[in-house]
Amino acid sequence: MLLDSLYNLSIYSYVSLLRLVSPFNKKAKLWVEGRNNLFHKLKLDTERRQLRSRSGKLAWFHCASLGEFEQGRPVIEAFRQQYPDYKILLTFFSPSGYEIRKNYSGADYIYYLPADTPENAHRFVSILEPSVAFFVKYEFWKNYLHELKKENIPVISFSAIFRPDQVFFKFYGGFYRKLLHQFNHILVQNQSSLELLKSIDITNVTLAGDTRFDRVKQIVDNRKDIPVVEKFKNKQQVFIVGSAWQTDMDVLIPLMNAVSGDGTKFIIAPHEIHDAEIELWRKQLMARSVLLSDAREVPDLESYEVLFINNIGMLSSLYQYAEYAFIGGAFGKGLHNILEATTFGMPVFFGNKSYQKFQEATELIRLGGAFPIGSTDELKALYQQLKTNEPERKKTATISRNYVLENVGATRKIMQVVETLVKK
């Protein structure tokens, strides 16, 4: 009971803190305002019989943010195809997921998830009465899991990944281990996660793999041409920088200046769009650069060497035009998604500090498809080695592409488990 009370107190405190800082912080403001009057809206939708299908069945998918949504998306779409009588509700914890995917056509309803207080969880589950609930990757909300279990609603966690340093596996982690027992089934990404769960007597586990491989395969299969980018490329090799932070650009800008004029073009996609930051980067470059928003009006676009992407949502499609990729984040809190680049087949570079917890990064390094770097000189040496040895570059590209192809299939394994728990 004491730990329950401390958990709930931490949730109340978190919400209070966000309300306090929301006038001064954009993300906090979106988090708070997105949840205003949410239960009123849910109640209205329910009374209008909009939330459920004629069969009365509703599947609830919850993702923390945009990355988890991309992992959940193949399963959402497979569920829609296999269970057309269900309506689908999608919730997000973070504004970075909700604000970008609030118009996603694969779900019937998309909301923020109310904070995990006992009152909110009870009201939410009572209003919605889902037939099944899915939590993607790291989502372990105590009160929601309790309410779902109490109502005998099947709960599935998929694309989950566990590490020995997580609290579940510590001697003092009993409270959190109990949360794992609330799931009817947990589908994990790798063998080590399976073994960790079995070591704490969690046996309703299946090794399914990572649905991101299925998602990036979808991207390749459904890619669309971007004429303005194709015009910019002008049949030259392209080095794309995905999800760039300042710490990444500190390494990349000297490289770009050093190799300017060698025939390679650069596409820079910042992690967050800040006009002042992009302008600062442009001023440090020797090469001519252009913003994507201006590129369509530039008559001699083919002569520019650097294209800055100043919008959100198209990065995954841009990789089709690249021969090399640098993925940002690893000089800071953590590496961003490298699979979107590797699925198109190319050498992938990233910082050498915060990538170790990402299984795909460590495996691609071992295979020879990815390269952690610590400095401009190191990146320049690797890049020039590949640029001057086309067979070697193509070999590396093939390693990356095959790594994705060999790991598709997680969605199919997840849906096989779903069939045992969900009624048509």
Mean pLDDT of 17-34: 93
pLDDT in the model for residue 67: 86
| Domain co-membership, 266 together with 332 | yes
* Per-residue pLDDT tens over the stretch 185-202: 999 999 999 999 999 999
Mean pLDDT (the chain, rounded): 94
Question: What is the SS3 assignment for the chain?
Answer: CHHHHHHHHHHHHHHHHHHHHCCCCHHHHHHHHCCCCHHHHHHHHHHCCCCCCCCCCEEEEEECCHHHHHHHHHHHHHHHHHCCCCEEEEEECCHHHHHHHCCCCCCCEEEECCCCCHHHHHHHHHHHCCCEEEEECCCCCHHHHHHHHHCCCCEEEEEECCCCCCHHHCCCCHHHHHHHCCCCEEEECCHHHHHHHHHCCCCCEEECCCHHHHHHHHHHHCCCCCHHHHHHHCCCCEEEEEEECHHHHHHHHHHHHHCCCCCCEEEEEECCCCHHHHHHHHHCCCCCEEEHHHHCCCCCHHHCCEEECCCCCCHHHHHHHCCEEEECCCCCCCCCCCHHHHCCCCCEEEECCCCCCCHHHHHHHHHCCEEEECCHHHHHHHHHHHHCCHHHHHHHHHHHHHHHHCCCCHHHHHHHHHHHHCCC
Between residues 112 and 50, which one has the greater pLDDT?
112
| Domain co-membership, 258 together with 235 | yes
| Domain co-membership, 103 together with 182 | yes
Q: Read off the pLDDT band of 219 (50, 70, 90).
A: confident
pLDDT in the model for residue 49: 63
pLDDT in the model for residue 294: 96
Q: Is residue 218 part of a domain?
A: no
Q: Read off the pLDDT band of 251 (50, 70, 90).
A: very high
Mean pLDDT of 33-45: 88
Q: Using the predicted structure, report yes or no on whether residue 53 has a pLDDT greater than 80.
A: no
Structural domain count of the chain = 2
State the residue range of the domain holding 376.
223-405
| Domain co-membership, 323 together with 417 | no
| Domain co-membership, 55 together with 160 | yes
Mean pLDDT of 362-382: 97
pLDDT in the model for residue 267: 98
pLDDT in the model for residue 2: 81
pLDDT in the model for residue 44: 82
| Domain co-membership, 203 together with 299 | no
| Domain co-membership, 159 together with 78 | yes
* Per-residue pLDDT tens over the stretch 273-303: 999 999 999 999 999 999 999 999 999 999 9
